[in-house]
Amino acid sequence: MAQIPAGRLMGVTTVDQGPSRDALLDALRGVIDPELGDNIVDLGMVRSVDAHADGRVEVEIALTIAACPLRGQIQDDVTTRLGALPGVTSVDMRTGSMNAEEKSALMSRARLKAQEDKAVTVDFPVTARVLAIASGKGGVGKSSVTVNLAVALARLGFVVGLIDADISGFSIPRMIGLDGRLRGDDDRKMLPMEQKVGEGLLKVVSKGFLADEEKALMWRGLIHHRALQQFLEDVTWGDLDYRLIDMPPGTGDVPMGLARMLPRAEVLVVTTPPIAAQKIAGRAADMFRRAHVRVAGVVENMTAFECEHGELYALFGEGGGDRLAAEIGVPVVGRIPLHPAMVGSGDEGKPVAYGDDGPLAQAFTQLAARVARDIAPVVDAASCTARLIDDIERRLGEA
């Protein structure tokens, strides 16, 4: 991508008969800076965008620093969102570094949004990537995907925090093979349950470590919301590279609360191949986007079953992940095959991602590698907007 000189933000224009100005802006508002939790248009990062009659779109983006490690991620999101517009044949994105005036405006916008969102105070580093694993409905295997992705990331050497945010429908303790009760530290905060995985580490919090598995939690939505807030504020997490959140299905109080409390969260949407599941998952993606939370990608679960003779059987249909990804303008990050081993592994508390062999273990290893390399790489604390976040949070603490 060619570099552009720093300068004042320019207006957004269209040329000839390309997509309209509103269409270009709406598409770019779907690109969220994952560290600042806001879209690149309102953050003032879009210097110009031009649409041409032959389908070419040219866009200039101002980054906080030229060597921003999120540059590739933002480029992919911009290209995907603009490329999904009708009539667009190619996207040429150029980047440059913000000048002092632009950085000041960006920080003012980010600080104002943080005050409006009233984000909770959490005990984990600003460089940790927060991934909510969400779906529009139950039964798509969201918890299985969350647990095995967490294990696969830990096997790559990362420290992974795992929150079971399905407060009344908790399942993580059984699926991951942990039991016992959460303990407190000297500051009267909860300590997560820990499990060593290869060179990495899992830190897990669930209502299942505080309640009996057989008894129903008959709580209303506001109590669920408060329980999630406690898992964010009242837990001593320590060092983390990733925090994965197993969301309850739907678009209710807990998912909406997460968007407010953790504006830097990003979302992986889980769907299965049928059109019905895809459409419902699309509503979950729409909810998070309206809350300015970055939708990072789609995971298709329960894809074709491969028998021992190598025959593939699409028992639940085909194409749900691809259709959803095209509809919301994000990549398909992983495809998890339908396999009977998934059920047994969850019941026994032995996630398939612990192993190296078999299609399920390989699929989760590939998913974790894609997340760590392309979708949500852990950035250096001294680079990019991480330093701006530190400053914003310090100022909010002084206010």
* Residue pLDDT, tens place only, 368-387: 999 998 899 887 644 555 44
In whole angstroms, give the CA distance from residue 380 to residue 361: 29
DSSP string, 197-215: ETTEEEEEEEGGGTS-TTS
Q: Between the CA of residue 135 and those of 144, 153, 173, 299, what are the distances in Å? A: 12, 21, 20, 10
Pick from 38-42, 176-180, 205-209, 288-292: least confident: 288-292
Helix (H) or strand (E) holding 267: strand 266-271
**Quick one: average pLDDT of 227-236?**
84
For 129-375, the fitting CATH number among 3.40.50.300, 3.90.1300.10, 3.40.50.1370, 3.30.67.10 is: 3.40.50.300
In whole angstroms, give the CA distance from residue 85 to residue 28: 11
C-beta pairs of 97-101 under 8 Å, 24+ apart in sequence: 97/6, 97/62, 97/63, 97/64, 97/65, 97/66, 98/6, 98/45, 98/62, 98/63, 98/64, 98/65, 99/6, 99/7, 101/8
Pick from 112-126, 227-241, 364-378: least confident: 112-126
Percent of the chain topping pLDDT 70: 85
Q: What confidence category does residue 397 fall into, taking pLDDT thresholds of 50, 70 and 90?
A: low
Phi, psi (degrees; rounded to nearest 5) at 273: -60, -30
Q: Give me the chain's average pLDDT, please.
A: 82
**Quick one: average pLDDT of 299-320?**
82
**Quick one: average pLDDT of 56-82?**
86
The pLDDT of residue 220 is 65
Inform me whether the pLDDT recorded for 310 exceeds 60.
yes
Which residues make Cβ contacts (< 8 Å) with residue 24, sequence separation at least 6? 12, 14, 49, 51, 57, 82, 85
Q: What confidence category does residue 222 fall into, taking pLDDT thresholds of 50, 70 and 90?
A: low
Phi, psi (degrees; rounded to nearest 5) at 230: -65, -40
* Tokens linked to 168: 């009344």
In whole angstroms, give the CA distance from residue 298 to residue 269: 5
The pLDDT of residue 112 is 67
The pLDDT of residue 5 is 37
The separation between CA 33 and the C-alpha centre of its own chain, rounded to angstroms, equals: 12
Q: What confidence category does residue 340 fall into, taking pLDDT thresholds of 50, 70 and 90?
A: confident
Strand partners, 282: none
Q: In this structure, which topology does domain 21-117 adopt according to CATH? A: GMP Synthetase; Chain A, domain 3 (3.30.300)
| pLDDT, tens only, 263-275 | 678 999 999 999 8
In whole angstroms, give the CA distance from residue 315 to residue 318: 9
DSSP-based three-state secondary structure for 390 = helix
Give the highest mean pLDDT range of 5-19, 304-318, 332-346.
332-346
* Tokens linked to 59: 């866009």
In this chain, the answer to whether the domains covering 21-117 and 129-375 adopt an identical fold is no
In whole angstroms, give the CA distance from residue 175 to residue 192: 16
Handedness of CA 231, 331, 284, 323 (dihedral sign): negative
In whole angstroms, give the CA distance from residue 375 to residue 366: 12
Pick from 207-211, 272-276, 363-367: least confident: 207-211
Q: What confidence category does residue 394 fall into, taking pLDDT thresholds of 50, 70 and 90?
A: low
Which residues make Cβ contacts (< 8 Å) with residue 397, sequence separation at least 6? none
CB 34 within 8 A of CB 376: yes
Pick from 161-165, 190-194, 220-224, 338-342: least confident: 220-224
Q: Where are the domains of the chain?
A: 21-117, 129-375
Which residues make Cβ contacts (< 8 Å) with residue 214, sequence separation at least 6? none
| pLDDT, tens only, 84-109 | 898 899 999 999 888 888 888 887 77
C-beta pairs of 18-23 under 8 Å, 24+ apart in sequence: 18/50, 18/51, 18/52, 18/53, 18/55, 18/56, 18/57, 18/87, 18/88, 19/51, 19/57, 19/85, 19/86, 19/87, 19/88, 23/85
